[in-house]
Structure 1
Amino acid sequence: MTTRTTPATPAATATPPSTLPAGARTAQDPWSRRRRRGPHLQRTRGDLPFEIWNYVGFTIFALVCGYPFYYLIINSVSANDVSALGDVRLWPVGFHLSNYTQVLGLGGLASATLVSVARTVIGTVTTVLASAFLGFMFTQERMWKRALWYRLVIFTMYFNAGLIPVYVTMKSLGLTNSFWVYILPAIVQPFNIILVKTYVESLPQSLQEAAELDGAGAIRIFFSIIFPNITPILATVAIFTAVAQWNSFQDTLLYVTDQKLYPLQYVLYTYINQASSLAAAAQNAQSNLGALASAATSQTPTSIRLTVAVIVVLPILFVYPIFQRFFVKGIMLGAVKG
Structure 2
Amino acid sequence: MADIQQVSFERIKHKKKMATEDLIFTILNTTFLVLFAVVTLYPVINTLAYSFNEGNDAVRGGIYFLPRKWSWRNYEEILFERPGIRVGAKITVLRTIIGTLTSLAANALLSYILSRKKFLFKSGVSLFWIITMYASGGMIPVLILFRYLHLTSSFWVYVIPGMVSAFNVMVMRTYMLGIPDSLEEAAQLEGAGYMRVFVSIITPLCKPVYATIALFVAVYHWNSWFDAMLYNRFDPQYTTLQYELMKLLDSVSATTGATSGAAMTAATANTITPITVRAAASIATMAPIIALYPFLQRYFVTGLTIGGVKE
TM-score computed with the length of structure 1 as normaliser: 0.79
**Aligned residues with identical type, % of pairs:** 36
Partner of 2:41: 66
CA contact (8 A) 2:54 2:73 kept: no
Deviates more, 1:301-310 or 1:244-253: 301-310
Shift of 1:65: 0.8
Whole-Å separation in 1 of the counterparts to 2:162 and 2:244: 21
Distance 1:336 1:181, change over 3 A: farther
Partner of 1:332: 305
Query: Tell me, what secondary structure is at the counterpart of 1:193?
Result: helix
Question: Is 2:157 the counterpart of 1:181?
Answer: yes
Distance 1:278 1:263, change over 3 A: farther
Question: Is 2:249 the counterpart of 1:268?
Answer: no
Shift of 1:161: 0.5
Partner of 2:148: 172
Partner of 1:18: none
Residue pairs, 1:178-327, within 5 angstroms: 178-256=154-232, 257-275=234-252, 293=267, 295=269, 297-327=270-300
1:133-185 alpha-carbon deviations (Å, 9 max, x no partner): 11111111222422122211221110000111101110111101111100000
Shift of 1:75: 1.1
CA contact (8 A) 1:233 1:331 kept: no
Shift of 1:334: 4.1
Whole-Å separation in 1 of the counterparts to 2:253 and 2:139: 32
Structure showing greater radius of gyration is 1
Partner of 2:59: 84
1:47-73 alpha-carbon deviations (Å, 9 max, x no partner): 233223222221221121111100100
Whichever residue aligns with residue 119 of structure 1, its letter is R
Question: Is 2:77 the counterpart of 1:102?
Answer: yes
Query: Tell me, what secondary structure is at the counterpart of 1:130?
Result: helix
CA contact (8 A) 1:194 1:336 kept: no
Whole-Å separation in 2 of the counterparts to 1:125 and 1:117: 12
Question: Is 2:98 the counterpart of 1:122?
Answer: yes
Whichever residue aligns with residue 304 of structure 1, its letter is V
1:22-59 alpha-carbon deviations (Å, 9 max, x no partner): xxxxxxxxxxxxxxxxxxxxx83432332232222212
Partner of 1:9: none
CA contact (8 A) 1:176 1:255 kept: yes
CA contact (8 A) 2:225 2:243 kept: yes
Question: Is 2:50 the counterpart of 1:75?
Answer: yes
Shift of 1:336: 6.7
CA contact (8 A) 1:196 1:334 kept: no
CA contact (8 A) 1:128 1:234 kept: yes
Whole-Å separation in 1 of the counterparts to 2:207 and 2:255: 45
Runs of 4+ in 1 over 4 A off after TM superposition: 276-280
Stretches of structure 2 lacking an aligned partner (at least 5 in a row): 1-17, 259-264
TM-score computed with the length of structure 2 as normaliser: 0.85
Shift of 1:278: 7.5
Shift of 1:260: 0.5
Partner of 1:17: none
Shift of 1:277: 7.2
Structure 1 vs Structure 2 CA RMSD: 2.1
Residue pairs, 1:108-147, within 5 angstroms: 108-147=84-123
How many equivalent residue pairs?
285
CA contact (8 A) 1:265 1:312 kept: yes
1:148 counterpart (111, 115, 124): 124
Distance 1:233 1:335, change over 3 A: farther
Whole-Å separation in 2 of the counterparts to 1:278 and 1:184: 38
Question: Is 2:160 the counterpart of 1:160?
Answer: no
Partner of 1:20: none
CA contact (8 A) 2:88 2:239 kept: yes
Distance 1:335 1:83, change over 3 A: farther
Partner of 1:38: none
CA contact (8 A) 2:77 2:277 kept: no
Query: Tell me, what secondary structure is at the counterpart of 2:62?
Result: coil
Whole-Å separation in 1 of the counterparts to 2:191 and 2:92: 43
